[in-house]
Amino acid sequence: MGRRMSEPKAETNKQLLHLVFGGELETLDGVTFRDPHNLDIVGLYPSYAEAVVAWKGAAQRSVDNALTRYFIVHMHRLLDPEKS
């Protein structure tokens, strides 16, 4: 039988949150955003694999603007740095 909704996940299925976001950079070789108030927050994803899919989609949509870049942030490392 399947796992019941109220049962905790096994440690091997630990949720590892990832944030995908991007925006227009000031220069091609930097990571300073031109307008930090206007960043594109693509979303939070429960696995790196799902974050990569979202990142690729966002990056492909902005391919015509060389200054627009998207990033994946490992939120689980920020939330619990000693276990990452």
Q: What is the pLDDT of residues 11-66, one digit of tens each?
A: 456 789 999 999 999 999 999 999 999 999 999 999 999 999 999 999 999 999 99
- Residue range of the domain that includes 60: 11-79
- Report if residue 20 sits inside a domain: yes
Burial grade of 42 (CB within 10 A; 0-12, 13-18, 19 or more): buried
CATH number at residue 55: 3.30.70.2400
- Report if residue 84 sits inside a domain: no
Q: Chain centroid to CA 17: how far?
A: 8
- Report if residue 26 sits inside a domain: yes
Confidence of residue 1 (pLDDT cuts 50, 70, 90): very low
- Report if residue 4 sits inside a domain: no
pLDDT in tens, 53-80: 999 999 999 999 999 999 999 998 888 7
The reported pLDDT for the residue numbered 74 is 95
pTM to 2 decimal places: 0.78
